[in-house]
Amino acid sequence: MSLVCVHSGALHGVEALGVEVEVNAADSGNIDIKLVGLPDAAVRESVDRVITAIKNTGLRWPNKPITINLAPADLKKEGPSFDLPIALGMVALDEHHNGALKDGALEKCCVAGELALDGRVRAIKGILPLTLQAKKAGFKAILVPRENAMEASIVEGIYVYGVESLHDAFELLKGEGNVRPEKLDREAFFNAKRNYAIDFTDVKGQGNAKRALEVSMSGGHNILMLGSPGTGKSMLAKRLATILPAMTEEEAIETTKIHSVSGMVDGKNSFLAIRPFRAPHHTISDVGLLGGSSNPTPGEVSLAHNGILFLDELPEFRRSTLEVLRQPLEDGYVTISRAAGKFTFPSRFSLVAAMNPCPCGYLGDPARECRCSPNQIEKYRQRISGPLLDRIDLHVDVPAVNYKELRSDSVGESSEVIRERVEEARQIQLERFVSHPGVNSNADMTSRLVAEFCQLDRTSEATLEQAMESLNFSARAHDRILKVSRSLADLEGAPNIKEVHVMEAIQYRTLDRNLWA
């Protein structure tokens, strides 16, 4: 046997593509090992790691000229995940080991893993998309590092073998050894990881803010909180994911894939069953927020997929950085073009932002005096990107909590109780938009859908008209008020929007009401 093919995979964005590792031993020529197939530096260095690992494991490879081809040749190969398949291909070619592997063993499985110099198999990034690709390609099994086995076993319909060393992998392919398929009670595992460590009962007071947050999550609306330092804006934001509908298995796998290719999944945290909460610092770069670099990786907007992206101190973010949020907020995904190719990362999240009412933070505070001039306040406000503000439906004031509320023994509603109402409202919307692909919540409604599903009676129409004229609301604010009114009606289970819903929605336009002085 002079040619062996080992199946593996390469990451491309958050997906994986099949790669064939072809290892050929020639009968004549200079004894050398050549690696071709568009490998990056980490892959080219694998030859030295593989040779040393094979020696230290006590195995052999042919003392002949060897060519290793990673096909398809036009797909860039990155990272150390090809170490293990290359090593198995080289060992399988050696005359000493000929016939040792079970017939068809390499054809039926996919292999991925990094090798240490002593032959141990180290964990790699992106094992979940690699396993999904292996299943899609029809492979019966996949060999992965032991540390990645739990993550890979989330995928049904394929045997997952976690190996600790090159020797374990070789023995497994011979039909010997003690490695057994990873077994996982997926339902029990999924449910066990669904619990949040925080709850809305932790928050004292802030009844109006809690109500606004419930409304925002029930309709998929983005929200901006305004308040002085220490009023609890961050505390409220961190608990928002706990009132969103529980993630489905499909959503959980989709979210885990993104974290997996980012190297944020390990043996202890092998699966994300709760909605992610991401809170990048205001000094973050455009690439850090959106994703990118020379070898594009997901940014914070993608790591927040199916969860919450919290931007604290919103005016402190660079305006150019905020501008890059326009595509993910509009489309639910990010497209990045680089020399390495075009990459698309999913990024459908709920945007939650917080800011002080003025540079010093105490405008409107009853206990502390604001020392900012009107000009300073206006400049501070103008730091917020206009296109970003266009995509925020609710602005809510978060006042300071008084001492009695802070020390009170009373406990507010739990996240579970609030989540039940949110789930009921979301279900109403799913049924409403069943014939409108891509529209899953009230926040996604186009102008045409707003006109169709947000009709007002005479009283509500008169109330909205009066607000538009007296408060100088823009056309943008008009549509936002109608969408939020629809969500308020859904929370109540009302088929039609009422005047009380419109009035409450108007109260959630703090910035448009110009309450800055």
| Residues of the chain scoring pLDDT < 50 | 515-517
Q: What is the pLDDT at residue 510?
A: 78
Whether 169 is in a domain gets the answer yes
Q: Which of 405, 427, 445 is the last residue of a domain?
A: 405
Q: Can you give the length of the chain in residues?
A: 517
**43 and 88 assigned to the same domain:** yes
CA-CA distance, 455 to 446, in Å (whole number)? Answer: 14
Whether 82 is in a domain gets the answer yes
**CATH code at 36?**
3.30.230.10
Q: Note whether 2 and 65 are within 8 A (CB).
A: no
**179 and 48 assigned to the same domain:** yes
**379 and 233 assigned to the same domain:** yes
**85 and 222 assigned to the same domain:** no
**173 and 277 assigned to the same domain:** no
From 242, 209, 119, 213, select the one nearest 170 (Cα to Cα). 119
**232 and 376 assigned to the same domain:** yes
Domain hosting residue 127, numbered range = 3-184
CA distances from 452 to 77, 165, 449, 486 (A): 50, 62, 5, 11
**313 and 370 assigned to the same domain:** yes
- How confident is the model over 285-328, as pLDDT tens digits? 988 999 877 678 899 999 999 999 999 999 999 988 888 888 88
CA-CA distance, 257 to 247, in Å (whole number)? Answer: 14
**173 and 224 assigned to the same domain:** no
Residue with tokens 């789930």: 423
**CATH code at 304?**
3.40.50.300
**311 and 399 assigned to the same domain:** yes
**Total count of domains within the chain:** 2
From 142, 107, 106, select the one nearest 126 (Cα to Cα). 142
Q: Which of 380, 405, 430 is the last residue of a domain?
A: 405
**376 and 242 assigned to the same domain:** yes
User: Could you give the dihedral angle defined by the CA atoms of residues 378, 384, 390 and 393, in that order, rounded to the nearest 10 degrees?
Assistant: -90
CA-CA distance, 259 to 272, in Å (whole number)? Answer: 9
Q: What is the pLDDT at residue 153?
A: 92
Whether 427 is in a domain gets the answer no
Helix intervals (H) in 342-440: 374-382, 386-390, 403-407, 415-432
Residue with tokens 């070619």: 93
Q: Note whether 510 and 397 are within 8 A (CB).
A: yes
**146 and 275 assigned to the same domain:** no
**176 and 249 assigned to the same domain:** no
Whether 164 is in a domain gets the answer yes
Q: Which of 358, 387, 405 is the last residue of a domain?
A: 405
Q: What is the pLDDT at residue 513?
A: 59
- How confident is the model over 52-105, as pLDDT tens digits? 999 999 999 988 899 999 999 988 898 899 999 999 999 998 876 666 777 788
Whether 363 is in a domain gets the answer yes
- Beta strands 33-36 and 114-115 are unpaired
Whether 447 is in a domain gets the answer no
Whether 118 is in a domain gets the answer yes
Residue with tokens 């009283």: 459
Q: Note whether 352 and 307 are within 8 A (CB).
A: no
Whether 75 is in a domain gets the answer yes
